[in-house]
Structure 1
Amino acid sequence: MAAFKNFRRHSVVVYISSKAKVRYQEVSPVVVGRFRDKSLGHTIPKAVIVSADQSLWFASSKYADMKGSKEFSRVRKLVKQGLDGELDQKPYQYANAWQLLGPGNVYLGTFVRLSEDGQSMVLKRQDNGTEMSVPLDKLVSGAQRAARMMAGGGAEISAEPEVPVMESWVSAEGGKTITAKFQSLSGNRITLVMENGRTVTFDISKLSEKSQQRAKELAGAS
């Protein structure tokens, strides 16, 4: 295939196979998301062209297009535009495929931010546009690294985040108390981690005024 030969001649080509589980888990959600693009078809090989840190997607080539020499010229033009900052995109600011630990499990969505404690990320779902909290330890290594790179403005965070402590949270009605770790506060939605490790998200109005104030303090709100 003419285009694929030129890819090998003028760039660094990394071969990715979903059968090689360990290596596949190291891949950025940007790459995984583009490989899952239905417009590329199911025939392999197919190519996804990204920046060296896998944060920016430049172009994709399906099998049928790689047979012609014009495809390489098209891709090279897009790469140049991307390197010159002329492509209308930002790192991770479009729907990507965030792989979870376990076969075939993927969240499709846009990275929003890392939680205050650095233990989870907020993802805007592709299907309904809502935000959800995803613990980083439930993601494969490549997805974890991508989230930290985005949160750090392009440089992966190497320092270990401070681990939050268990606290008592009191409900607004009935005065029921639960013990949990604060994870994040997004708008009026608070996320806590229960003693059994389960993550729960609910409206902050369900907590007492004192617990609401504590959540805002932990979130850095005034």
Structure 2
Amino acid sequence: MGLGSTFLFNQTIISSTNEEVKDSELIPSSDETNKEISRILQKIKAELQPNYNIAVIKTKYPSNTIVVEVKGSQKYLTSVEKDIENSVKKLIEGTILNEHLISVTKYVSSFKERERLNEIHSELLAKTETLLKELQVFDEVIDIKSQYQKSITIETKIKGTDQYVQSKMKEIEKEVKELLNTQKFNSISKIQGYDVSVKNVDN
């Protein structure tokens, strides 16, 4: 991303609707960069608010993640998270946040709930980063989606005959399942309960 390696402690860049949120995070120290990030977050908020119950939009560092917190039930979150993620992806194209991860989560107001949410986010991030690193041998892998303690979906872009595509998808799925049984994932709670699937996106 080229955002630099100097950071400030105990700050986060936030675009909030009505709630003031404090988070101990690391953010780029350049005032110019921070202003640009704030401008992008405000633009995202303006685009999303008319259609979704957005509580907070912020960036988290050093994980380089855009976090969109949504007010409402878990059912509501599940129904809108994919649309929100796709919208944010389009809005950050060509910006300094272009390579950031996107996390759509349920907004919680209590400290204990927020701490638990941060733990879940950190665990999912660690799992995703480890998988991406281990799957670098597969050029076809383009993204990994996870639902906490439920599922892992490997998104691929495989070209070729249907037979080749299916064969490669099975190969990647087998590799992921084997990786989840290694010591690298011992720290992930209930890792054996994750359903693993591979989805090939349209060419």
Q: TM-score range by the shorter chain?
A: under 0.3
Larger radius of gyration: 1
Q: TM-score, normalised by structure 2?
A: 0.27
Q: TM-score, normalised by structure 1?
A: 0.26
Whichever structure has more helix as a proportion of its residues is 2
